[in-house]
Amino acid sequence: MPEMFTNAASYDRFMGRWSSKLAPLFAKFARIRDGDRVLDVGCGTGSLIQAVANLNSQSEIVGIDPSAGFIAHARQRFTDPRISLDQGSAFELPYPARSFDHALSMLVFHLISTPDRAAKEMRRVTKPGGTVAACTWDGAGGMELTSIFWSEAIRLDPAAETRPERGVGNLKGQLSELWKATGIHNAEETSIDIRMDFASFDDYWLPYLTGVGPTGVYVAGLSNEDRDALRERLRSRVLGGQLDGAFSLAARAWAVRGLVPE
């Protein structure tokens, strides 16, 4: 597991607040029936688990993630006996076939090299007639947090355009095509839009210094001079020339849901 996704507390301060805003909207889109058994694949620190638990008071929820740090963090976070957590891979889910009524995955499929393997595993462990759903950030610049960051980084360093840690997302239609290719029926895709408020520039900038996520890894590798130059370009970009103040950024995710055939 890359180190960029091992520090749970730093992840929550950086990307976790975006996940927490997205999760309730995605959980509603997934159309979970209260009382059904739900699997969260790539559960991270538990944003989707929390949203599903809040919306479904009778459902059992199982989360799985490859990061030992994230799972340990989530186990401390949740005391609800309906929730259990496992460390493991989306490519080899340690559950029998037809174990769950719903299998969900949030903000994972755009980060893995073989998403078809994960989709097939999610289908395998879901009961016939059950829902398989996923969502990812829009890969066409729909997340201002990353699109602004990389735009300014590339202006200062054109080589940043080819950096392997640059975050990517999915384009419209890619998730629904994956679902169809996996044999998941009635695939429906939609966009989910959110906004994130920042109290100040430091509220926006300081999480980059924790080394979390692709942007954090990039910032950690810069010299002090280059880091300062990037910080000032981003300050000008998000504040529009003001010294400081509150602002907000938009983000779009693509979500898909479908049914396991009877």
Residue 78 scores a pLDDT above 50:
yes
pLDDT digits 0-9 by tens, 103-150 = 999 999 998 889 999 999 999 999 999 999 999 999 888 899 999 999
Tell me the CA end-to-end span of the chain in Å, nearest whole number.
35
Q: What is the pLDDT of residue 6?
A: 58
CATH number at residue 165: 3.40.50.150
Q: Provide the domain count of the chain.
A: 1
- The answer to whether 110 and 137 are in contact (CB under 8 A) is yes
Residue 126 CA to its chain's centroid (Å): 21
pLDDT digits 0-9 by tens, 48-63 = 999 999 999 999 999 9
* pLDDT confidence tier of residue 167, bands split at 50, 70 and 90: low
pLDDT digits 0-9 by tens, 234-260 = 999 999 988 899 999 999 999 999 999
Question: Which comes out higher in pLDDT, residue 217 or 53?
Answer: 53
Q: How far apart (Å, rounded) are the C-alpha atoms in residues 121 and 211? A: 31
Average pLDDT taken over every residue of the chain = 93
- 191: containing domain: 3-259
